[in-house]
A = this chain, B = another copy of it.
């Protein structure tokens, strides 16, 4: 975060005050972008939506393939990205894996935008 180059504020054609060091550091930006990358896919948004809407609070992976009309490998790939981004929690029970939204995770993702 402190590895940004020190820039010479003098320019030949100054048009306005230099913006200076970015408010958001490079490393922090990378971490935040990972969350938005996980959200940047329509199928992943729909998967999150189904899991969030489930009255039981969790969804079996066996029920997530059919509503999106996708194969299980594709759904598993998307679910893995959502788990890695900290948005979904995965629990294996018997034959199936069950997914639930990590409590507070969507609020936290929304909060990333407030603190840009």
Contact = CB atoms under 8 A, between A and B. Distances in A.
Interface of A: 4-5, 7, 11, 13, 15-24, 26, 29-30, 32-33, 36-37, 39-46, 48-50, 52-54, 56, 59-60, 62-64, 66-69, 94-96, 106-107, 109-111, 113-114, 116
A22 B46 contact: yes
Nearest to A47: B22
Given A4-B67, A7-B67, A15-B60, A23 B42 contact: no
Contact of A22 (B26, B33, B67): B67
* Copies of this chain, whole number: 2
Contacts of A30: 42
Given A19-B66, A30-B42, 10 more contacts: A15-B62, A19-B63, A24-B49, A26-B46, A33-B44, A39-B39, A39-B40, A40-B40, A106-B114, A110-B111
